[in-house]
Amino acid sequence: MHTDKKLKAWLAAVSVIAYFLLVTVIIMALRGSGEVGPSGQPGEATRTKAVTTKVAPIPATFADIFDGEESRAFYNGKAVEVSGSIVDFFGARYPDIYFRMGDGSVEGAVKCHFTDSAEIAKLAELEKGTSVIVIGVYNVRKGLRDCSIRRADGKEIKPTPAPLIKDGVCVLTVEEYLAMDFARNQRGEVLLDGAKVQIIAKVTGFSSTNFRWIQDYYYIYIGTKNQEIRCGSSYGAYMEVSTGDMVTVHGWPSQSTSTDFIIDTYTVEKATF
């Protein structure tokens, strides 16, 4: 009887010792791989990865980045912070929106690509010539990637809420459309996000042009004499409507570099109420 008790006690002790030995071996193995550190905390490999994603960007000038192949190679793949003024916007649709930013000369400009929706929304409130600070990962071939942006003067950029877009169509007034100001910035591109536009307004006039005696282009003007939108039109719609008619225009905005705003229209219909 006593022998059985001693045997059971011995076996229990051996089991406990074996358990602790097994746990020790596992912990030592994980420490060696860098996955677990002292007291079960993340090991060196995990901590290094976390720190790497939060590394402060390197302040850089255009001269720093573009001063020869060696300089480009040094900055390639690193997060950099660059100051400058907006040189130009490009008409790419969301989310592939970017612009060039430089020290005042196109030659000194760098392309900045934005992918985060919150940062893209800020572009609607910026204009050419605005002094800004951009942080992004530099790529030798593609400029700055995954950028964030802020004004150099410290003023907060408050994005304008996007208009209601239902089933890919955005219903706007003439005033709302013109307020998007395609000529100065990326506002319309950002807010409309590639949606088709519908506008109901009065016809104020007509015009047509001939391209090299080969093709005629027809335009219908809608709105008021002070706020007009020129709409590309089919010949049929051009001939059907008259000045003063209420029409419904459907189409996609076309970015303009002048004060002339155009909707590339595929249909112009008389409005019915």
> Average pLDDT in the 16-44 region?
50
The two structure tokens encoding residue 226? 């002070």
Query: Measured in whole angstroms, how far is the alpha carbon of residue 38 from the centre of its chain?
Result: 42
Confidence of residue 18 (pLDDT cuts 50, 70, 90): low
Whether pLDDT at 136 is above 90: yes
Residue type present at position 250: H
The predicted pLDDT at position 95 comes to 47
Task: For residues 31 and 50, give the distance between their C-alpha atoms in angstroms, rounded to a whole number.
Answer: 17
Radius of gyration of the chain (CA): 31
Whether pLDDT at 247 is above 90: yes
> Average pLDDT in the 80-101 region?
71
The two structure tokens encoding residue 97? 């929106």
Any bridge partners for residue 197, and if so which? 170, 251
Whether pLDDT at 244 is above 60: yes
The predicted pLDDT at position 24 comes to 65
DSSP string, 95-122: TSEEEEEESSSGGG-EEEEE--HHHHHH
Helix (H) or strand (E) holding 33: helix 2-33
Query: Are 58-151 and 165-270 in the same CATH fold?
Result: yes
Mean predicted lDDT score pLDDT of the chain: 75
Any bridge partners for residue 36, and if so which? 42
pLDDT digits (tens, 9 = 90+) for 33-73: 444 333 343 333 333 333 334 678 998 888 788 777 888 88
Whether pLDDT at 145 is above 60: yes
Q: How many residues does the chain have?
A: 273
> Average pLDDT in the 88-93 region?
62
Confidence of residue 17 (pLDDT cuts 50, 70, 90): low
Dihedral of the alpha carbons of 71, 74, 76, 79, in degrees to the nearest 10: -110
Whether pLDDT at 3 is above 80: no
DSSP letter (8 states) at residue 82: E
The predicted pLDDT at position 9 comes to 57
The predicted pLDDT at position 253 comes to 78
DSSP letter (8 states) at residue 227: S
Assigned CATH class of 165-270: mainly beta
Confidence of residue 99 (pLDDT cuts 50, 70, 90): low
Cβ atoms of residues 231 and 263 within 8 Å: yes
The predicted pLDDT at position 167 comes to 86
Assigned CATH class of 58-151: mainly beta
Task: For residues 48 and 63, give the distance between their C-alpha atoms in angstroms, rounded to a whole number.
Answer: 31
Number of helices and strands in the chain (H, E): 8, 13
Cβ atoms of residues 30 and 43 within 8 Å: yes
Confidence of residue 200 (pLDDT cuts 50, 70, 90): very high
The residue ranges of every structural domain in the chain are 2-52, 58-151, 165-270
The predicted pLDDT at position 46 comes to 35
